Amino acid sequence: MTTILRDWSYRYQWFYDTVSALAALSVGGERRFRRLFLKDLTINPESKVLDLCCGAGQATQELVNHFQDVTGLDASPIAIKRARQNVPQAKYVEAFAEKMPFSDRTFDLIITNTAMHEMDLEQLQQIIQEVHRVLTSNGQFIIIDFHRPTNPFFWLPVATFLWLFETDTAWKLIGTDLKALLSKSGFKIESCQLYAGGSLQVLRSRV
């Protein structure tokens, strides 16, 4: 179940950005939200980095501030066009995350920001296997996405957000044990930090 607002958020970038900025208030604002992945991250500017499901380049923008070789991948040609305009410092590839056009062991770091909740379980499993394939040995995978709230006061705002903007895959994600899926595909879990009453997770794993 979703509403027309989901369609608008994909159609109008200003609307997506406004909703995203409002939602980010729950973790202290957009700037903090976009920098959550940096916590505990050892930055080697020469690392090859992939922003998986990059959208219009919102996370890519932060990545190019720290890394020289950043690629954004998204299945939507409109998203790729916007990302190219917004963050020209990165390279872009229009492709499905389930079947990435990259050789084995291409990237040192892969980040996916608020996109895995759009996938059904089968897609999620395929994507995790693909990420494992294209990461270098010891490469790192960071997932930033919804999580089942641990603070009961966050259930109402989260449920309202999911009802207005998301589909059933987001509800399924918060009921999915992502750590177990990653472990099954050969990842070692490094940490899982929760924010916004537990409704947002930053899950770090390594090949």
Ligand X SMILES: C[S@@+](CC[C@H](N)C(=O)[O-])C[C@H]1O[C@@H](n2cnc3c(N)ncnc32)[C@H](O)[C@@H]1O
CB of 78 to ligand X, least distance (A): 8
Site string for ligand X, 91-110 (x = CB under 6 A): -----xxx------------
Q: How far is CA 95 from CA 71, 72, 83, 174, in A?
A: 12, 10, 14, 25
d(CA 31, CA 41): 17
Q: Which is nearer to ligand X, 49 or 59 (CB)?
A: 59
Length in residues, the chain: 207
Contact range with ligand X by CB under 6 A, out of 38-46, 53-61, 167-175, 194-202: 53-61
Sign of CA dihedral 102, 104, 110, 113: positive
Interface with ligand X (CB under 6 A), residue from 58, 61, 71, 199:
58
Q: How far is CA 142 from the centre of its chain?
A: 8
Residue 152 Cβ, how far from ligand X at the closest point, in Å? 26
Binding site for ligand X (CB under 6 A): 53-55, 58-59, 74-76, 79, 96-98, 113-115, 118
